[in-house]
Amino acid sequence: MTAAIIDGKAFAAKVRAEVAGHVARLKEEHGLQPGLAVVLVGEDPASQVYVSSKGKQTVEVGMASIEHKLPADTSEAVLLDLIGKLNADPKIHGILVQLPLPAHLNSELVINTIDPAKDVDGFHISNVGLLGTGQKSMVPCTPLGCLMMLRDHHGKLAGMNAVVVGRSNIVGKPMAQLLLGDSCTVTIAHSRTKDLAAVCRGADILVAAVGRPEMITGDMVKPGATVIDVGINRIEREGKAKLVGDVHFESAAAVAGAITPVPGGVGPMTIACLLANTLTACCRAHGLPEPAGLTA
Ligand SMILES: NC(=O)C1=CN([C@@H]2O[C@H](COP(=O)(O)OP(=O)(O)OC[C@H]3O[C@@H](n4cnc5c(N)ncnc54)[C@H](OP(=O)(O)O)[C@@H]3O)[C@@H](O)[C@H]2O)C=CC1
Ligand SMILES: Nc1nc(=O)c2c([nH]1)NC[C@@H]1CN(c3ccc(C(=O)N[C@@H](CCC(=O)O)C(=O)O)cc3)C=[N+]21
């Protein structure tokens, strides 16, 4: 069997076009422009790439993009003060603080200082709790993008066995919550899981969010399963820099029914969902109906 490729890049372009349509309507009918503020502390080169591509796509869909680049030695007080100002600014509907932060900053405190209504990453403890109890929240972008692709591919997910490898707060746990919300039977695997291969082979839906290049191999995939590869790993192969996922694409694609590639899978959907969340936040802030199909 050779897997169908789930084209995240094309799907993300569709989501952005939809967002752009709503943004144009907000402007025309209400004189509103959604605004997204991205805060980057320090000069991590990978983070700079993400931030600039986020900024570019934000502008392309007609939103206002505000970037705050702070030096790596920024104090917590200065960062919290900036977040306070962004919370109070009515032109800003979404705030994203790029993670990881330098070690001297308390990430939990920083994230929980963001107004939950503007927390377009969905990392604030209030949003985590709302998601966990099935209430309306801001949903983390990466798992939301994965869910959109899964729903698009399968229609209904109810009753499917889903295995999420990875239990981070930003990907694994919220991914599991969303799959549970769609009535999958969910297993969360991690570094202490016994016989990971056997657990994975039970999955109709296998989501890999581990951060280990090409760790999930074809022998761990159930024939016909849908494989979502969240991993973004920069490696060097034959002297060249290469981007690979957490899934060994070639061997997994030989067994799976469908698979997301890296690049061009989950990554572009993450940014598209960030824009979707910013639009949703803007609509909620102004008591306007939220566009359908762009939240969980
Ligand atoms: N495409 C996108 O938009 C995004 C991609 N990413 C990528 O996704 C990947 C995961 O990110 P993130 O969740 O932040 O990573 P974390 O490092 O926070 O979490 C990794 C998880 O994988 C588990 N794990 C590690 N080694 C193994 C192993 N050998 N077997 C089973 N489980 C293991 C860890 O288990 P334990 O808890 O026991 O330590 C942990 O729960 C990374 O490659 C990252 O770059 C992240 C965000 C967005
Ligand atoms: N507060 C916060 N929110 C995040 O959502 C967040 C973060 N911090 N820190 C870093 C991770 C990582 N992340 C990615 C987003 C897009 C791509 C992406 O578009 N990737 C392209 C390839 C890009 C390339 O070539 O480098 C692709 O997969 O096709 C990747 C990774 C968001 N993150």
CB-based contacts of 32: which residues, under 8 Å, 6+ apart? 26, 282, 286
- Whether 226 contacts 256, CB under 8 Å: yes
Segment 286-291 shows an average pLDDT of 96
CA dihedral 250, 210, 123, 205 (to 10 degrees): 50
Determine whether 54 is an active site residue. yes
Nearest atom of ligand 1 to the alpha carbon of 265: 1
Which residue intervals of 155-202 are DSSP H helices? 172-181, 196-201
Nearest atom of ligand 2 to the alpha carbon of 140: 5
Nearest atom of ligand 2 to the alpha carbon of 274: 5
Consult the annotation and say whether 166 binds a ligand. Answer: yes
pLDDT exceeds 80 at position 1? no
| Region label for 224, one of left (φ > 0), alpha (ψ between -120 and 50) or beta (otherwise) | left
pLDDT exceeds 90 at position 43? no
How much of the chain exceeds pLDDT 90, in percent? 96
Q: Which two tokens stand for residue 134?
A: 């099935």
The dihedrals phi and psi of 104, each to the nearest 5 degrees, come to: -80, -5
* Active-site entry in 115, 119, 121, 229: 121
| For ligand 2, atom 24: residue with the closest CA | 263
Around Cβ 59, how many Cβ atoms within 10 Å?
12
Q: Where residue 52 falls among pLDDT bands split at 50, 70, 90?
A: confident
Q: Is 61 exposed, middle or buried (0-12, 13-18, 19+ CB in 10 A)?
A: buried
Tallying the residues shown for the chain, one arrives at 296
pLDDT of residue 188: 99
Consult the annotation and say whether 167 binds a ligand. Answer: yes
Calculate the average pLDDT of the chain.
97
Q: How far is the CA of 209 from the centre of ligand 2 (A)?
A: 13
- Whether 157 contacts 150, CB under 8 Å: yes
233 lines ligand 1 (CB under 6 A): yes
pLDDT of residue 203: 99
Angle at 21 between CA 7 and CA 294, to 5 degrees: 55
Determine whether 33 is an active site residue. no
Q: Determine which of 1-15, 37-51, 166-180 has the lowest per-residue pLDDT on average.
A: 37-51
pLDDT exceeds 70 at position 112? yes
Consult the annotation and say whether 239 binds a ligand. Answer: no
pTM as predicted: 0.98
Consult the annotation and say whether 134 binds a ligand. Answer: no
Segment 122-127 shows an average pLDDT of 98
- Whether 176 contacts 186, CB under 8 Å: yes
Helix (H) or strand (E) segment spanning residue 29: helix 8-30
Question: What are the chain's domains?
Answer: 32-115 (3.40.50.10860), 141-266 (3.40.50.720)
98 lines ligand 1 (CB under 6 A): no
Angle at 59 between CA 57 and CA 65, to 5 degrees: 105
- This complex has an ipTM of 0.98
- Whether 288 contacts 275, CB under 8 Å: no
DSSP 108-132: HHHHHHS-GGGBTT--SHHHHHHHH
243 lines ligand 2 (CB under 6 A): yes
98 lines ligand 2 (CB under 6 A): yes
Q: Where residue 51 falls among pLDDT bands split at 50, 70, 90?
A: confident
Q: How far is the CA of 53 from the centre of ligand 1 (A)?
A: 22
171 lines ligand 1 (CB under 6 A): yes
Helix axes 8-30 and 266-285, enclosed angle (nearest 10): 20
pLDDT exceeds 70 at position 211? yes
